[in-house]
Chain A
């Protein structure tokens, strides 16, 4: 069974600083995908970034980057130059193996509060 673990239930970060959100996963499938979503207080889930298990380079999208360490089964999200609007819940998720469908399994989430 696949599992996603986010060990940080909540954290504070100073505006303009970088923050790293931890995510470890457990799977025996060689092919998988890792996703990060942001959920502001409005409740919508916003897709941030994707990393495929066979991707050679770490994914980046603007201020978001994914520190993918395959051997350690970790996929940490790095947010650079934090802004007040980054205050939200952040979820790490993993896609099942392709032949098992396109479901995502989510971690418990990390709440980030950016301080001015």
Chain B
């Protein structure tokens, strides 16, 4: 079974802090994705990556950056956290295409 692991289930940070959300997958998938989930809005794509050191902007990249130094790890970075970034963050991976395999999510609260 594919396992996508997000390092934190719950995270509380202060406004202005730099925040790292980590995601690791164990199936040698090329594709990795970061989504945020908000009530009524579903999941919105922040960034994705098709290969090591490669990244592409999704639909809502503002305020975020990503890093993929190794194939199995995809990190989401909030350079200066703001309260409107309080959300559920979901990491996903896939081989050549969908379906995506998701982690359990990180619920981030920015105060």
Binds B, one of A13-21, A73-81, A102-110: A102-110
Which of chain B's residues have a CB closer than 8 A to the CB of A106?
35, 42-44
Given contacts A102-B31, A103-B33, contact A44 B104 (CB under 8 A): yes
* B98 in contact with A104 (CB, 8 Å): yes
CB distance from A29 to the nearest CB of B (A): 14
Q: How far is the CB of A43 from the nearest CB of chain B, in Å? A: 4
**Contact indicator per residue, chain B 31-62, by CB within 8 Å of chain A (1) or not (0):** 10101000011111100101000001010000
- Chain A residues with a Cβ under 8 A of chain B: 4, 6, 9, 33, 35, 37, 42-45, 47, 50, 91, 93, 95, 98, 101-109
Question: Can you give 11 contacting A-B residue pairs, CB < 8 Å?
Answer: A4-B42, A35-B98, A42-B104, A43-B88, A43-B105, A101-B50, A101-B56, A102-B97, A103-B58, A107-B42, A108-B40
